[in-house]
Chains A and B, each alone.
Chain A
Amino acid sequence: MVGFYTLLYKELLRFWRVVFQTVAAPILTALLYLLIFSHILQDRVTVYIDVGYTQFLVPGLAMMSVLQNAFANGSSSIIQSKVTGNIVFLLLAPISNFQVFLAYLLASVIRGVSVGFGVVLASIIFINISTFNFFWIIIFAVLGAGILACLGLLAGIWAEKFDQVAVFQNFIVMPMTFLSGVFYSIHSLPEFWQQVSRSNPFFYMIDGFRYGFFGKSDVSPMVSFLVVGIVFLSLSAVTFNVIKSGYKLRT
């Protein structure tokens, strides 16, 4: 187990060393979104009666930060190690494939959730936010981060250059996040786009997460939990098996 803890510690240290870039900067970005969108849209958009748009926006932005940072952590750690070649130290080490997977997963989840937590904390300074059910908040933050951590690891393993990770990020992660209802409730969309959104697993992460704050959501939190849970387990299985197979790591 020492091997596993060491790898986890190393991964945490890796982002903690550059905490301004990995945690503080994304929090600031989220706050800027919050400031601008809420200022422009506060009186024009009503999503749920008795929930102001600014309040509505905070969980969405927090979740978006969780997802993006969980993805960024896994993908950048792997691709950096591959490009600089120091991944051999890990490949030579007697740490089981499952422990390698778990250490990278946990480190990415911790980074994602830390940033999300930071966004909520920073928002509380300016905005009055209540929480309805803490349990759901944590569940959806962790599972959402887990899903994006897996995607990040897969992208990092698959990519051979940094810009290939960026492609993954810009063409898959970003669109799916934006189209998942971070800035709106899908009930405000035309019927067709509502259907499209429902086939996007990101929608369930954000909807369920938001339920934890307001006790209101587009679909039942149990349904979201089921969808998100199944996606997380499937992606974990895929990622673990890719690591185990040595794909692109052990040529």
Chain B
Amino acid sequence: MTAALEIKNINKHYGSFNALSDVSLNVREGEFFALLGPNGAGKTTLISILAGLCVADSGSTAVMGKDVSSDYLEARKKLGVVPQELVYDPFFTVREMLTIQSGYFGIRGNTDWIEEVTSGLGLQDKMDENMRTLSGGMKRRVLVAQALMHKPPVIILDEPTAGVDVELRRGLWKFMKNLNSQGHTIVLTTHYLEEAEVLCERVGMLKNGRLAALDTTQNLLKRFSGIRLVLRTKKMVLPSALNEYLLEVAADGEWVFRLSDYSEVEVILRELRRVEDEVISMVLREADLEDVFFSVIKED
């Protein structure tokens, strides 16, 4: 089976800055994939290279088996991209914009699909409004609709939920899940990690232009799993016996312990009693993708 996205040894630099270093990864057909990473990690750069908006220094990329540079027309037909920036053409209304977009992809009219997508995205009341007059969230919805006009087998969304209200976010994900169940491959970037955790089967994490983790969401959670115990004590002097449990010191100074079992809570408390320290506050929770993310980002 051909990969939906095939990324081989991509390098990209701006001046002396390496935006992407030797990134390789495949996204399988039908996958729901999250591309994560802190600001400036290179997510948008990678997407731009896949979309042909940006040319890599070396390496190759293909969409549904079509090379992005040598077979650019076919590769573009297979791909729908929602850009991160809120771009729009101030000359046109929503309906005109979507009709033009369809035409760019060789589809005349397209009224039924325009109807379906826009009502799914809650745009039906805005169809004849000028793009200029729409709110930011509404412009974002139009960008999503535009990317779907040619029913591309692969859809890439670069932070589609930035600046979008809760209702649309839910609606958007329902829409995407539905497309995914119909066989569309979906790749998204987001800074809301709980979204990625719920939606995506597999996750790739970029860090300083390198692929720092690539695995199924479940495996990642398992690998970094366990229980998080967040603790503040009176003295805040760590007994040496607790060193092995300490994961990090949070920004506000609290200790974050990583436990493999709830019974280990007792071990921690016992050690604290031994040094005559007292607990002020305590939170216990299961590890989530955010913990995985921070562990990966902190690793060298």
Contacts and interface: CB of A to CB of B under 8 A. Distances in A.
Interface of A: 2-3, 5-7, 9-10, 13-14, 17, 81, 84-86, 88-96, 246, 250-251
B52 A92 contact: yes
Interface in B93-119: 100-101, 103-108
A84 B104 contact: no
B67 interface: no
30 contacts: A2-B103, A2-B106, A2-B108, A3-B105, A5-B103, A6-B103, A7-B104, A10-B100, A13-B92, A17-B91, A84-B87, A84-B89, A85-B83, A85-B85, A86-B89, A88-B53, A88-B81, A88-B83, A89-B89, A89-B101, A89-B146, A90-B104, A91-B53, A92-B51, A92-B81, A93-B76, A94-B72, A95-B104, A96-B73, A251-B55
Given A92-B52, A94-B77, A85 B103 contact: no
B51, B89, B107, most chain A CB atoms within 10 A? B89
B105 to A, nearest CB: 6
Closest 4 CB pairs of A and B: A6-B103, A85-B87, A93-B104, A94-B76
B284 interface: no
Given A2-B103, A3-B106, A94 B73 contact: yes
Nearest to B54: A251
A86 B88 CA distance: 5
B52 A3 contact: no
Contacts of B52: 91-92, 250
B15 interface: no
A88 to B, nearest CB: 6
Interface of B: 51-55, 72-74, 76-77, 79, 81, 83, 85, 87-92, 100-101, 103-108, 146
B171 to A, nearest CB: 23
A95 B74 CA distance: 10
B48 to A, nearest CB: 8
B113 to A, nearest CB: 15
Contacts of B108: 2
A5 B107 CA distance: 11
A94 B53 contact: no
A10 B77 CA distance: 20
A246 B89 contact: no
A223 to B, nearest CB: 41
Contacts of A3: 103-106
B109 to A, nearest CB: 10
Given A9-B100, A89-B101, 6 more contacts: A2-B108, A89-B87, A89-B104, A96-B73, A250-B52, A250-B55
B84 to A, nearest CB: 10
A84 B87 CA distance: 7
Contacts of A17: 91
A241 to B, nearest CB: 16
Nearest to B106: A2
Given A2-B107, A6-B100, A86-B88, A92 B76 contact: yes
A86 B100 CA distance: 13
A13 B92 CA distance: 9
A94 B55 CA distance: 17
A85 B48 CA distance: 13
A42 B55 CA distance: 59
A123 B158 CA distance: 54
A3 B100 CA distance: 9
Contact of A94 (B74, B83, B90, B100): B74
A91 B83 CA distance: 12
A147 to B, nearest CB: 26
A88 B87 contact: yes
Contacts of B73: 94, 96
A75 B38 CA distance: 37
Contacts of A93: 76, 104-105
B156 to A, nearest CB: 10
A96 B74 CA distance: 11
